[in-house]
Each structure stands twice: as structure tokens, then as C-alpha cells.
Structure 1
Amino acid sequence: MTKNLFGGCTLLLLTACATTRPAAVQAPIRQVLTTQAAAWNRGDIPAFMQGYWRSDSLVFIGKRGPTYGWQQTLDNYRSSYPDATAMGQLAFSDLYITPNGPQAAHVVGRWHLTRPTAGDVGGHFLLVFRQVKGHWVIVADHTNSER
């Protein structure tokens, strides 16, 4: 009985130590999104893409369905937003970051592009983040637009 109680207490202690502190996950993820918005707002799509996992396994799901791979996602952004005017100014809001463990999280939020000549556009997104080689990156992005 004592052995089972000791084992149970040890397991409980290990579980408590392994529990992710939300702030430890949320702050670096918010920083990725802030850095992405700043890059976008200066018209720098390659810098914006640094927030994504540079892998053929990256998935982006938009209105045309899924796109696989970092390079293809970059190419799609460049095609859809050929210049700074088309890109406009990006803002993220209503971010709800949920840790899924010490090295994974998902984010639900809103995005909005202010574009004086092309018209504003925005929508919602669900991002899956993972910590890869010590850096938080987006491994899956499901974004919709409301036009």
C-alpha cells in the first residue's frame, strides 16, 4: 500500500512538473505573430514566412484548398500579393492561444488587411504551432476570408 501511495505521489509530482505554463508558450507565439505582422507591413513576404515551418510538411488551407510545403506557400503569397499596395497593412486580433503541451499550441484569431486602393479584407484563422529546434513555428494554417 505504501509503495502504491509513493508511486502515485511520484506520478502526480512528475505530471505537475510537466504541465505547461501558458505564459511560457503564449509569449513566444505572440512574438512570432508580431514579427510576422511587422514583416508584412513593410512588404517583406520572405521575412513574414520565417514564422512558418520551413518544411515540405507545412500545410496551409485556404479558399483553394490545402497547399503543402513552405516554398509553395511562399509562392502562393507572392502570387496573391504581388506588391505592398496589394498587401496592405496586417493586423491580428482576438488571439486565443491554447497550449497543447510544452512544444505545441494552437491559436484561433482574426486577421485584417487595411488596403486603401484594393479594399479591406479579413477573416479568421486557426494556426497550429510547434516548437522545432528551439523555435516556435506555424506547422499548419487554416485561414478563411470574409469578403
Structure 2
Amino acid sequence: MNKLFLLLFVLCTCNSFSQTTEKEDKDAIMAVLKAQRIAWSKNNIEGFMEGYWKSDSLKFYGVNGVTLGWENTLDRYEKGYPSEAHTGKLSYKINDITKISDDAYYVLGEYHLKREVGNADGIFMLVFKRIDGEWKIIADTSC
């Protein structure tokens, strides 16, 4: 009986250690956004793209319609922001992070670019999914 109790205790304890709290998830998502902000502000678009799911299934929805895939999204950013004067310094205002499921959240926010070619502001909605233990953007609507 003691062995059975010990086994159940160990299984329950291991299970609780493997799950994260909503605060931990949100903190991890905010860390991705911070890394993206820093990369963007250093004109490092590929570093910025590290926050995105490197898949043909990634979806970006902007003023020019839907862009499918990580490579196509990278190309879109590189064409739209060809120099440091265009990328400028990025800041975010996060308005909401909401849990969709254990491994998915959506983020609503505003972005602000301070740049030489003229400042730019807009809004975004990101869908984050935990993939192989890392939070990645799987869908981005920005305008």
C-alpha cells in the first residue's frame, strides 16, 4: 500500500512540475516580444523573425493581404523595411494577453516605430503557440 501511495505521489508531483502557470506563460511570451523589439531596433530582421514559427503554415495578415510562410514573411519585412532608417526603434504597448488553450494565447497591442523616414504606429493581434517547448507566433495581424 505504501508503494502504491508513493507511486501516485510521484506521478502527481511530476505532472504538476511539467505544467506552467498562466503567469509563467505570459512572462515567456513577453520575453519573446522583448527579444523581437531589441532585434528590430538593431535592424536585425532575421533576429526579429526568431519569434515566429519557422513553417510554411505561418500566417501574416496585413494591409496587402495574407502572406503565408516564414520565408515569405521574412521577404515581406525585408522589402518593406530595407534599411535602418526604415526599421527605426520599435516599442510596444501590450493591451491584452488572453489564454486560448494550454498551449496558445492571443496578444493585442500597439506598435510604435520612431524612425528617420517618418514615424509609424499601428495595432496588432498575435497568436502564440507553444511548439517544442518554445513560444512562437503562428499568426500575425498587423496594420
> Where do 4+ consecutive residues of structure 1 move more than 2 Å?
19-22
Q: Deviations over 1:82-117 (max 9, x none)?
A: 0111111000113311111221000000001001x2
Gaps of 5+ in 1: 1-16
Corresponding residue of 1:22: 22
Q: Deviations over 1:30-49 (max 9, x none)?
A: 00000000000111000000
Percent identity of equivalent pairs: 40
Q: If the length of structure 2 is used for normalisation, what is the TM-score?
A: 0.84
Alignment check: 8 A CA contact 2:128 2:138 kept: yes
Where 1:50 maps in the other structure, the secondary structure is: helix
Q: If the length of structure 1 is used for normalisation, what is the TM-score?
A: 0.82
Q: Distance in 2 between matches of 1:84 and 1:92?
A: 18
Q: Distance in 2 between matches of 1:98 and 1:78?
A: 30
Kindly report the root-mean-square deviation, in angstroms, between the aligned alpha carbons of the 2 structures: 1.4
Q: Distance in 2 between matches of 1:94 and 1:107?
A: 7
Q: Distance in 2 between matches of 1:94 and 1:100?
A: 17
Gaps of 5+ in 2: 1-15
Q: Deviations over 1:51-78 (max 9, x none)?
A: 0000000000000000000000000100
Task: Give the stretch that moved more between structures: 57-66 or 20-29.
Answer: 20-29
Corresponding residue of 1:74: 74
Q: Give, as a single letter, the amino acid of the residue that structure 1 aligns with 2:138.
A: V
Q: Distance in 2 between matches of 1:99 and 1:37?
A: 22
Corresponding residue of 1:37: 37
